[in-house]
Structure 1
Amino acid sequence: MKFRNFKMVDYVVYGHGSFNQLDEIIAPHRKGDAPMIFLLDHFFENGAVTGDGKALVNRVPLRGKDKVIFADVTFEPKTTQVDKLAKQLKDEFGTVSGIIGIGGGSTLDLAKAVSLMMTNPGSSADYQGWDLVKVPGVYKVGIPTLSGTGAEVSRTTVLTGPTRKLGMNSDFTPFSQIVLDPELIANAPVNQRFYTGMDCYIHCIESLQGTYLNEFSKSYGEKALQLCQQIFLEKDSWDAECDEKLMMASFAGGMSIAYSQVGVAHAVSYGLSYLLGTKHGIGNCIVMNHLEPYYPAGVAEFKRMVEKNNIDIPVGICKGLTDEQFDTMINVSLGMKPLWENALGKDWEKIMTREKLRALYEKL
């Protein structure tokens, strides 16, 4: 048996106010006058503040030719968006010292992808799959302002391409550095915080019940699950402790799936995202609401979390779709073979037929 040699994030800094160290952290990685490019979630474009009450855009440590680019993540990153950004930077600067992504999971994925496309030829769509990237990207830093997706630690950058939604999964994808500062997630919108938190919770359910499970994944997954339960079931109000716990749940949840996989909820939500543009966190919640046959205890607990936190999960989003549209979602979903195998075993294709998947989509 051959074991996978798992690539992790190179450096991690954690703690309230750790964002203030960003200037000194990135200083050794500056190459001449080549700039650092800060991809900042467009949520912060109009002076949105972080937990310390200061506008985040004004805290970015710009030097020389450094540039802030506000990343429009209204929809999840597309290969066309990645290619356009990489071309823009190459045309303007030739090369850059690094890419620093500051925002939610979509912004972090965008930063990872742009870093890779600064050095790899062709389109990012050419690298959607497993281990297709052959050249390291430029230095890249991930700084989450939402927690739950695990994008800060994963070896993938999820992109919607011309024909599919699939990540650039490679050992060159993980960040060179991450900055985990709980102050940055303190003012996150309540619904958005819940949806990304549930992404983490669902990671744990899928990982811990998957056929790929091992003690490495189990150790991280159990801790992340415990933190999610404390935050979304045991706490009566949100406080700084919740921010700390959710940030570490996201980290541990991401680590758990790194050596295993996610499952049915993610596989089905990829189809929703590709066809309807449904954001990842809310898409997982929409699907999880209907997965009692696969994760009975997890779905029951998920519904308690939804009720306790007064969250409305959308329903009827697939109503009125055509056969062709259903087929598109089914094709995207069934293309996620490792996810289905983790969830249902090696004979998953006999279990999850197109008809059964169509019936599931019709319920959403």
Structure 2
Amino acid sequence: MSYKNFPMVPRVIFGRGSFNQLNDILEPKRLNSKAPFIFLVDDVFKGNAWLTSRVPLSYDDRIIFISANEEPKTSQVDALVEDIILTTKERPSGIIGIGGGTLLDLAKAVAIMLTNEGEAKDYQGWDLVKNEAIYHVGIPTISGTGAEVSRTTVLTGPEKKLGINSDYTPFDQVVLDSELTKDVPKAQWFYTGMDCFIHCVESLEGSYLNAFSQSYGEKAYDLCKEIFLNGTLDETEAQEKLMMASWHGGMSIAYSQVGIAHAMSYGLAYLLGTKHGIGNCIVFDHLEEFYPEGVKLFKEMKEKHNISLPQGLCANLTDADFNILVNIAYGLEPLWENALGKNWKTIMTPGKLISLYKKM
């Protein structure tokens, strides 16, 4: 039997206010004065001096503000890479992603594509990346996706929504400063937090489960229950614990896999542009047949926080649309195998899948 030899994030700094140490972290990594650091920053921080004034810019360093309103696309990665190549004198010293999962995934993908030829869509899949990425740093400003710790960068391409899964994807450095999450809108906080909770349910209920995944998954699962159900934590404590739940949730799927909610929400993102966190919630809400305990808890959390999910998402879809949803979901074999075992296609037939989508 051959075991997977997974890379992890080699350096991480944790604590409120640790963002202030960014200059000390980056300066030793500067290649020279002509090789800039490029900061990809969620454009919700445009005009937010509290954050942007603390980004340590010198020489030719630059901030590129990027909207996270849509899921990250391969074409967006290609455009960023081209822009960086055309406007910098030398290959950058590093790429720093500041934002939620979208910005973190873009930062990982751009760092990879600066050293690998072709287009981002050519690398959607498992272990297709040949060359090491340039130095890249992840700084989450919302917690839950696990993008800060995972070996994938999930992108919507011309044909599919699929990650660049590779040993070169994980960040070289992560800064976990929970203070950066203080202004996240309530609905967004819930959807992204539930992304983490759903990671844990899918990992813990899956056939790929092992002691490594279980130890991280159980911790993140318990933290999510503490944050979203018990309601006894003060704001600071809740922010810190959700940041750790996100980290542990991401680690729990490093050595296993996610499941049905993720497989189905990828199709919604590709066809309808549904954001990842809310897409997972919409799907998971209808999966009590497969994850009875997890869905029951999810519905309790939803009620406790007065969250009402969008309805009728698939109401006006054509047969051709449903075929696209099925094809995208079916393309994610490891997720189905983890959820339902080797004979998953006999359980989740195209007809069954379509009937589930029709409920949404």
Q: C-alpha displacement at 1:110, in angstroms?
A: 0.3
Q: For 1:240-279, what aligned pairs fall within 5 Å after superposition?
A: 240-279=236-275
TM-score (norm 2): 0.98
Deviations 1:132-166 (A, max 9, x none): 00101110000000000000000000000010000
The CA distance in 1 between the partners of 2:51 and 2:317, in whole Å, is 41
2:218 pairs with 217, 222, 227, which one? 222
Change (3 A) 1:327 1:307: same
The CA distance in 1 between the partners of 2:47 and 2:343, in whole Å, is 51
Deviations 1:284-337 (A, max 9, x none): 000011001100010000000000011111111000101111111111111011
Q: C-alpha displacement at 1:55, in angstroms?
A: 2.1
Residue number in structure 2 paired with 1:21? 21
1:66 pairs with 56, 61, 68, which one? 61
Q: C-alpha displacement at 1:236, in angstroms?
A: 5.3
Quick one: which amino acid aligns to residue 62 of structure 2?
A: K
Quick one: which amino acid aligns to residue 356 of structure 1?
A: K
Greater mean alpha carbon deviation, residues 348-357 or residues 290-299: 348-357
Deviations 1:195-242 (A, max 9, x none): 000000000000000000000000000000000000000015761100
The CA distance in 2 between the partners of 1:187 and 1:91, in whole Å, is 35
Matched, 1:82 2:83: no
Residue number in structure 2 paired with 1:136? 132
Identify unmatched segments of 5+ residues in structure 2.
none
Q: How many residues align?
A: 358
Deviations 1:166-218 (A, max 9, x none): 00000000000000001001111111010000000000000000000000000
Quick one: which amino acid aligns to residue 40 of structure 2?
A: L
Residue number in structure 1 paired with 2:310? 314
Residue number in structure 1 paired with 2:9? 9
What RMSD, in angstroms, separates the aligned Cα atoms of the two structures? 0.9
1:124 pairs with 115, 120, 123, which one? 120
Quick one: which amino acid aligns to residue 12 of structure 1?
A: V
The CA distance in 2 between the partners of 1:332 and 1:154, in whole Å, is 21
Residue number in structure 2 paired with 1:152? 148
Q: C-alpha displacement at 1:74, in angstroms?
A: 1.1
DSSP 3-state at the match of 1:13: strand
The CA distance in 2 between the partners of 1:70 and 1:198, in whole Å, is 26
The CA distance in 1 between the partners of 2:133 and 2:297, in whole Å, is 40
DSSP 3-state at the match of 1:39: strand
The CA distance in 2 between the partners of 1:103 and 1:83, in whole Å, is 19
DSSP 3-state at the match of 1:99: strand
The CA distance in 1 between the partners of 2:314 and 2:233, in whole Å, is 34
The CA distance in 2 between the partners of 1:292 and 1:198, in whole Å, is 16
Matched, 1:35 2:36: yes
TM-score (norm 1): 0.97
The CA distance in 1 between the partners of 2:106 and 2:166, in whole Å, is 15
The CA distance in 2 between the partners of 1:192 and 1:236, in whole Å, is 20
Q: C-alpha displacement at 1:73, in angstroms?
A: 1.6
1:348 pairs with 315, 328, 344, which one? 344
Q: C-alpha displacement at 1:260, in angstroms?
A: 0.3
The CA distance in 1 between the partners of 2:107 and 2:170, in whole Å, is 10
DSSP 3-state at the match of 2:56: coil
Greater mean alpha carbon deviation, residues 339-348 or residues 234-243: 234-243
DSSP 3-state at the match of 2:108: helix
Q: C-alpha displacement at 1:46, in angstroms?
A: 3.0
The CA distance in 2 between the partners of 1:152 and 1:118, in whole Å, is 20
Deviations 1:249-276 (A, max 9, x none): 0000000001000000000000000000
Residue number in structure 2 paired with 1:164? 160
DSSP 3-state at the match of 1:195: helix
Residue number in structure 1 paired with 2:207? 211
Change (3 A) 1:241 1:315: same
Residue number in structure 2 paired with 1:51? none
The CA distance in 2 between the partners of 1:150 and 1:111, in whole Å, is 14
Moved over 6 A (4+): none
Residue number in structure 1 paired with 2:353? 357
DSSP 3-state at the match of 2:194: helix
Residue number in structure 2 paired with 1:50? none
DSSP 3-state at the match of 2:53: helix
DSSP 3-state at the match of 1:286: helix
DSSP 3-state at the match of 2:63: strand
1:106 pairs with 90, 102, 105, which one? 102
Deviations 1:85-135 (A, max 9, x none): 001101111411100000000000000000000000000000000000010
Residue number in structure 1 paired with 2:300? 304
Q: C-alpha displacement at 1:352, in angstroms?
A: 1.0
